[in-house]
Amino acid sequence: MYYLGALLAVKKVLEMIQSPDWKNDEKPYREAILRLITKDKRSMQLYMDGCYDICFRNHKHDKKGKVTWAEAYFAERRIKYEEVR
């Protein structure tokens, strides 16, 4: 069961990263998602279940205004997003 879970997690993450929707200018967001889902077992479980949306906050910009860093978090689908803790 352990290896099956690991295999499914890696497969889902690779599908997300290799998706044509992701462009090079969205690299900070990919990194934020990877930091979020690899933080702990609960985060990976929430990602694999797909019950929550992933949103971003605390953006850092360079001098040109391009996003260089962001923080990802899980949120319920509502009119107003609320962080899941």
pLDDT value at position 9?
A: 84
Evaluate if residue 21 carries a pLDDT over 90: no
Q: Is 4 helix (H, G, I), strand (E, B) or coil?
A: helix
Could you tell me which of 54, 51, 63, 64 has the C-alpha nearest to residue 29?
A: 54
Evaluate if residue 22 carries a pLDDT over 70: no
- Render pLDDT for 33-85 as a digit per residue (tens, 0 to 9): 989 998 998 998 899 888 899 999 999 999 999 999 999 999 987 776 778 88
Evaluate if residue 12 carries a pLDDT over 90: no
